[in-house]
Amino acid sequence: MVSIWGTVDPMSTRAEPETDERALDLAYDVLQARCPSRLTLEHVTGRWGTLIMLALYEGPVRFNELRRRVAGVSEKMLSQGLQALERDGFVAREVLSTMPPRVEYRLTDLGLETHRRLKELAVFLESRMPEVEAAQARYEAGGNA
């Protein structure tokens, strides 16, 4: 049985009803286990994905400039994260054949729209951090420490 999202994944332990009912539902849904949109969401919201997306603003950015912007990221994770985002079409990568070599990353249109939404989320959360920290203090004090 093949769903609209490809072959049956052996990792899925859930007994999925093998009806073609789902084939009628062509909408992507991140809450569905094997929907491709879930993987893309993970690239954008993963541990480094969000931070890399947030660090991509104001025109092309070079690799080491990005490293500086995303404080704490390793070369490996930045490289892997950028590859995933490029693969999904959020980021465009341009190699300039200069000496020393220079590579520039910029958001695509899709990436820019995504960036705006992530930025909104980040700014919102930052603005509410006092409330979050108050909740944390209450939680610890409440015997859940």
Binding site for its own copies (CB under 8 A): 12, 14, 27-34, 36-38, 40-42, 44-47, 50-51, 54-55, 69-72, 86-89, 110, 113-114, 117-118, 120-122, 124-129, 131-136, 138-139, 144
Give every CB contact of residue 104 below 8 A, 6+ residues apart in sequence. 60, 61, 62, 93, 94, 96
Query: Which among 70, 62, 66, 58 has a CA at the least distance from the CA of 104?
Result: 62
Shortest approach of its own copies to residue 121 CB, angstroms? 5
Q: Which of 40, 43, 44, 48 binds DNA (CB under 7 A)?
A: 48
Using CB under 7 A, which residues numbered 50 to 69 contact DNA?
62-65
* Binding partner of 62, given DNA, its own copies, none, CB within 5-8 angstroms per partner class: DNA
Query: Toward DNA, which CB reaches closer, 15 or 27?
Result: 15
User: Is residue 84 close enough to count as binding DNA by CB under 7 A?
Assistant: no
